[in-house]
Amino acid sequence: MTSIVRRTTGAIIFALLLVFAATGALRAQEQYDEAKLESFVTAALTVNQLVEQWTPRIQGAASETEAAELRDQANGELVAAIEQTGGISVDEYREISQAAQADPQLMARISGIFDERQPE
């Protein structure tokens, strides 16, 4: 009888994990409204420009020490750029970025906003 109870309990726990996994992805996608994603895209566009500006400078550094100093300066500018974007914090930016990597539907929503902003 105990083995039947264990199997049943195991099956119930497994079923609950599947439900929570599915609702977790759904929650991640629905957690961010369009305004938050618009702010994320605005910040990401600025971040991308800064990364393009800083990457060659960091790669061309004469030493690892200089490269580390340049990375620190770049990171400071990236944080400032995100903070200056209305409607999103640095923590929210990181959170959305990580969530989008794990959630294809969220990534599709963000890509749609990027696409809308691209000139024709």
* Residue scoring higher pLDDT (24 or 64): 64
Residue 10 has pLDDT above 70, yes or no: no
Q: Dump pLDDT digits (tens) for 17-47.
A: 333 343 344 445 468 999 999 999 999 999 9
- Residue 9's pLDDT band (boundaries 50, 70, 90)? very low
Name the burial class of residue 39, with classes exposed (0-12), middle (13-18) and buried (19+) by CB atoms within 10 angstroms of its CB.
buried
Is the Cα torsion angle 36, 42, 45, 49 positive or negative in sign? Answer: negative
**Average pLDDT along the chain:** 79
| Predicted local confidence at residue 120, as pLDDT | 63
Q: Dump pLDDT digits (tens) for 90-106.
A: 999 999 999 999 999 99
* Residue scoring higher pLDDT (21 or 65): 65
Quickly list H helices, 31-103: 34-59, 64-84, 90-102
The pTM for the full model equals 0.71
Residue 15 has pLDDT above 90, yes or no: no
Q: How far is CA 114 from CA 64, 87, 118, in A?
A: 35, 17, 7
| Predicted local confidence at residue 67, as pLDDT | 93
